[in-house]
Amino acid sequence: MSQSLIVALDFPGKQDVEQFLRHFEGEELFVKVGMELFYKEGPAIITYLKEKGHKIFLDLKLHDIPNTVKSAMHSLASLDVDMVNVHAAGGSSMMKAAIEGLEEGKQEGKERPICIAVTQLTSTSEAMMKKEIGIEKTLEEAVAHYAKLTKESGLDGVVCSTLEVPKLREVCGNEFVTVTPGIRLASDDVNDQVRVATPKRARELGSSYIVVGRSITKAENPLEAYKTVKQQWEGVTV
């Protein structure tokens, strides 16, 4: 299950990434590259991480007209990343176009990247969703609706809160991938995320993948923090 623990490389540039990864010599990680890092360094950061042997979740949350998303996904698939995402709010046609782009752009002999959709950001509360976004459903209902649409559109799964995983298992089945950010060790601050959980709780609720950032990247000893998270996630007693 260690390859289902994703470390968020939320750094401003390659130099910070290199410094962080020095703690993990010999470790093959599954890492998340987000907008800040990718927009600064471009595809070169993906090449660098692949050469180091790491798997990559390229977290760009595409949300545009179907043809634009298809073309973008064609380009991203050619980078040989392992996971990508879109916003489910872009609709079924956009999500289907994303899959088409990935299939057409994947490297020869390789499987297409896992494609997941963002339901609601973990920084979104139900009150905010209703007042600012204008969705007159409960948060659970809205997430379940987007997850069902995602599955019907041919995607592999969704990004969601751990708290929503049990409901999504009911709606979409056990094979549906759930990637859950907002993971913190019990001793950490929650920062800007509203719906958070510990690695142990994520395991108990049935998450497929967890995304962990500050608990590891801001730790005094990142490798030890990584091992602690991994042990809790895998249910290992030491």
190-231 per-position pLDDT tens digit: 555 555 789 999 999 999 999 999 999 999 999 999 999 999
Instruction: Confirm whether 61 is a catalytic residue.
Output: yes
Alpha-carbon separation of residue 186 from 25, 218, 232 (angstroms): 27, 15, 11
Q: What does residue 25 show for φ and ψ, rounded to 5 degrees? A: -55, 130
Dist. CA 24–CA 224, nearest whole Å: 10
- Spatial CB neighbours of 104, under 8 Å, sequence gap ≥ 6: 74, 77
For residue 55, the enclosing domain spans 2-234
pLDDT tier at 182, thresholds 50, 70, 90: confident
Dist. CA 138–CA 135, nearest whole Å: 8
pLDDT at 10: 95
Q: What is the CATH number of the domain that holds 50?
A: 3.20.20.70
Of the residues 14, 52, 55, 61, which is catalytic? 61
Beta bridge partners of 197: 183
Interval 45-91: pLDDT, tens: 999 999 999 999 999 999 999 999 999 999 999 999 999 999 999 99
Bridge-based pairing state of the strands 177-180 and 55-62 = unpaired
Of the residues 50, 55, 64, 227, which is catalytic? 64
Q: Is 119 annotated as a binding residue?
A: no
SS3 119: coil
pTM for the whole thing? 0.92
Q: Is 61 annotated as a binding residue?
A: yes
Q: Is 70 annotated as a binding residue?
A: no
Q: Is 213 annotated as a binding residue?
A: yes
Instruction: Confirm whether 137 is a catalytic residue.
Output: no
What does the DSSP assignment read for 97-115?
A: HHHHHHHHHSPTTSPPPEE
Dist. CA 167–CA 150, nearest whole Å: 15
The total number of structural domains in the chain stands at 1
Q: How many CA atoms lie within 13 A of 8 on its CB side?
A: 20
Instruction: Confirm whether 192 is a catalytic residue.
Output: no
Q: What is the percentage of the chain residues whose pLDDT exceeds 90?
A: 82
